[in-house]
Amino acid sequence: MTEVRLNRLTKIYSGGKPAVDSITLDIPSGQFVSLLGPSGCGKTTTLKMLAGFEDVTSGEIAFDGEDVGRVPAEDRDIGMVFQNYALFPHMTVQQNLAFGLEMRKVSKAEIKRRVQATLEMVQLDHLADRYPAQLSGGQQQRVAIGRALTIEPRILLLDEPLANLDAKLREEMRVFIRDLQKRVGITTVYVTHDQAEAMTMSDLVVVMFDGHIAQAGAPREIYETPKTAKVAGFVGQVNLIEAPMDPATPGHAATPFGPVPVTAPGVGETVTLALRPEAIDIAPAGAPGTPATIERVQYSGAIVDYTLRFADGTAMEVKTIPRHPFATGDAVSLSVDLARFRQLEREY
Amino acid sequence: MSQRKTFLLLLPAGVLLVVFLAIPYVSVFISAFREPGQGTPYGEGYTIANFTRILGDWFYVKQALNTMLIGAVTTLATLVIGLPVAFQLARPDLKLRGLFYGIVLSPLLVGIVIRSYGWTILLGNNGVINRTLREWGWIDGPLPLMYNTLGIVIALTHVFLPFMILPIMSAVQGIDPSVGSAARSLGAKRPTVIRRVLLPLAMPGIQSGCILVFVLALSSYVTPALIGGLRVKTTAVTVVDAMIDTFQWPFGAALALTLSVLGGGSVLIFARLTRMKWK
């Protein structure tokens, strides 16, 4: 069980602007944390610094309060899973799993016992003598996870481990990794640009942009109360409404759905409100609500996405279960629980 | 394109191979079993006497063994020198790559005769090396660097080094860099990463480099002829002597065939010993 603390961690490659800019983050022991962000946001650099593959420019990485920022990768006691698996092609599954234990001078008998335990844990005991090239992508991935875990590391690091798998396998592996992590109880840092992976697997999602942490919180918190438009948009579809202050009701912004209470900006300014597409109810014209016209329908079975337009020209995305067979051009009525609006912080 | 048309495209290369490779090989093979002739390339009838003469004469056996030794030592020397060079050249962050490639290939850019005479100037009893050492008072008499096995090995190592470096370099370049990182994360220090991960993964290149250099050294003619002079002859030199100077075509062919069998056998055994199950 290891608690990880990043304290104003910074990485600057020679002469450039910081790849990771003074990030501070506490990861409680045993938690599954995702670093989520677009490529170039600093998530992989952060992971490499955690692993010891990149030097820390400034700041601190502490495992259980002990600064490990200068400890070389081979002495840091981390389990790392790489995007392309990085298995040793010249070793069998068994030999791959035993490698870390051999480095630790564990006795032969103990190695045998622990490799066998890992093989069972990752459900590969029938493939122990195969070479990596003889395994499928999913099997290679399980070997990579097993190899990282056999050494019983202090923390487990995963660098986009599912990026090279097909969609169906990816979902299976999500569940597999999450279950395994819970069973082992190891503090885990998971780097991904896939919001669905981050949301479904994590205890804590850390959204990163441009080397900064934009927001960190539980998946639900990130999704339902995003701080900025960028965060809101990265973890799901969102309607952004630039709303003027309502002159009739002080402390409220005027939206097509009615006045929404906001923390007041200066008079005459606007506020940015976020509204998730599934928060909006869509009903046939005539029902109570705001009238709108359907511009596009994207039906995908379980759910249907509508693009709608209000009379004033504002567009709005709505996501719902397909209750009514609406078609393009239909007039409908939209309603929303005003509490679902979220006021966003300004980004500078 | 149809199967037939593809076949037609292969025809020119096929004809070339049959006329200039297959037929000469078969012809050498057959001549090795012919009776020697009087004033003709070979006489009437077939015999195995050419082979019994080689195997029964310690001179030829010893010479063949020495030739194999030259091949083996040259291979070892190019491996020892070439391996670290190949690893350095394979680094993705290498600067002045073109310059280093040029340096590695430079032995091949000089004509073979000129290169061998160059070595004569360096290695001879009055050559640069011996004279310098004498002037510095390090030696009294000249070191025997020419007209012996050592001189041949030195010159062959020089010219065949690229054939060792290039295959190893390309194998090393093919190694996924994250494999080394993975080994480190599992607790391996740099020397262990090299020994347990990088060297085994470079084995396909090491294997082809060794086979290439060994075969080339075994069959080389000009360098051993010029550096070895009259004193040390390799089997290849003796083959040419038999064919050209003494006009004993069947005997020369038998000698050439013996060398091929020895070399081919060694390569097979080597490939067997260094077989990689994971490939």
Distance (Å) of CA A107 to CA A93, A96, A111: 19, 16, 6
Is the domain of A284 the same as that of A305?
A: yes
Contact B176 A86 (CB under 8 A): yes
* Residues 159 through 188 of chain B touching chain A, CB cutoff 8 Å: 176, 178-179, 181-188
Is the domain of A199 the same as that of A286?
A: no
Contacts of B201 in chain A (CB under 8 A): 88-90
Average pLDDT value for chain A: 92
Residue length of chain A = 348
Read off the CATH number of the domain in which A298 is found.
2.40.50.140
Q: CA–CA separation, A79 vs A97, rounded Å?
A: 12
Query: What is residue A60's predicted lDDT score, i.e. its pLDDT?
Result: 95
Q: CA–CA separation, A186 vs A153, rounded Å?
A: 8
Residue-range definition of the domain harbouring residue A273: 237-343
Q: Is A295 part of a structural domain of the chain?
A: yes
Q: CA–CA separation, A101 vs A121, rounded Å?
A: 17
Read off the CATH number of the domain in which A24 is found.
3.40.50.300
* Model confidence at A198: pLDDT above 60: yes
Q: CA–CA separation, A297 vs A214, rounded Å?
A: 33
Q: Is A348 part of a structural domain of the chain?
A: no
User: Residue A202: which of A143, A244, A256, A158 has the closest Cα?
Assistant: A158
Q: Is A104 part of a structural domain of the chain?
A: yes
Residue A74: closest CA among chain B residues belongs to which residue? B187
- Number of structural domains found in chain A: 2
Q: Is A190 part of a structural domain of the chain?
A: yes
Q: Is A310 part of a structural domain of the chain?
A: yes
Query: What is residue A347's predicted lDDT score, i.e. its pLDDT?
Result: 67
Domain finish residue from A207, A233, A259: A233
User: Residue B263: which of B208, B218, B223, B207 has the closest Cα?
Assistant: B218
pLDDT tens digits for A279-319? 999 999 888 999 999 999 999 999 999 999 998 888 999 99
Contacts of B277 in chain A (CB under 8 A): 131
From the CA of B269, how many Å to the nearest CA of chain A?
A: 21
Contact A90 B178 (CB under 8 A): no
From the CA of A95, how many Å to the nearest CA of chain B?
A: 11
Is the domain of A256 the same as that of A189?
A: no
Contact A86 B179 (CB under 8 A): yes
Is the domain of A92 the same as that of A49?
A: yes
Tens-level pLDDT at each residue, chain B (279 residues): 577 788 888 899 999 999 999 999 999 999 999 988 777 778 888 899 899 999 999 999 999 999 999 999 999 999 999 999 999 999 888 889 899 999 999 988 888 889 888 898 999 888 899 899 988 988 888 888 888 999 999 999 999 999 999 999 999 999 999 999 999 999 999 999 999 999 999 999 999 999 999 999 999 999 999 998 888 899 999 999 988 888 888 999 999 999 999 999 999 999 999 988 887
Residue A51: closest CA among chain B residues belongs to which residue? B185
Q: Is A296 part of a structural domain of the chain?
A: yes
Residue B200: closest CA among chain A residues belongs to which residue? A90
Give the closest of A88, A91, A151 to B187, CB-based: A151
Mutate to test the interface with A, among B185, B203, B275 (most CBs of A within 10 A): B185
Residue A75: closest CA among chain B residues belongs to which residue? B187
**B64: Cα separation from own chain's centroid:** 15
ipTM score above 0.90: no
Give the closest of B178, B179, B187 to A100, CB-based: B187
Query: What is residue B264's predicted lDDT score, i.e. its pLDDT?
Result: 94
A-B contacts at Cβ under 8 angstroms: 72
Beta bridge partners of B126: none
Query: Count of CB atoms within 10 A of residue A174's CB?
Result: 18
Is the domain of A163 the same as that of A205?
A: yes
* Model confidence at A328: pLDDT above 80: yes
pLDDT tens digits for A31-87? 999 999 999 899 999 999 999 999 999 999 999 999 999 999 999 999 999 999 999
Mutate to test the interface with A, among B186, B197, B275, B279 (most CBs of A within 10 A): B186
Q: Which domains can be identified in chain B, with CATH numbers?
A: 78-232 (1.10.3720.10)
Contacts of B203 in chain A (CB under 8 A): 90
Token output for A336: 């929303």
Q: How confident is the model at residue A88 (pLDDT cuts 50, 70, 90)?
A: very high
Is the domain of A175 the same as that of A138?
A: yes
Residue type, B224: P
Domain finish residue from A182, A207, A233: A233
Q: Is A86 part of a structural domain of the chain?
A: yes
Query: What is residue B112's predicted lDDT score, i.e. its pLDDT?
Result: 86
From the CA of A90, how many Å to the nearest CA of chain B?
A: 5
Domain finish residue from A233, A253, A279: A233
Contact B179 A88 (CB under 8 A): yes
Contact B188 A74 (CB under 8 A): yes
From the CA of B186, how many Å to the nearest CA of chain A?
A: 5
Contact call for residues A168 and A137 (beta carbons, < 8 A):
no
Query: What is residue A233's predicted lDDT score, i.e. its pLDDT?
Result: 93
Q: How confident is the model at residue A264 (pLDDT cuts 50, 70, 90)?
A: low
| Rama region for A334: left / alpha / beta (φ>0; ψ in -120 to 50; rest) | beta
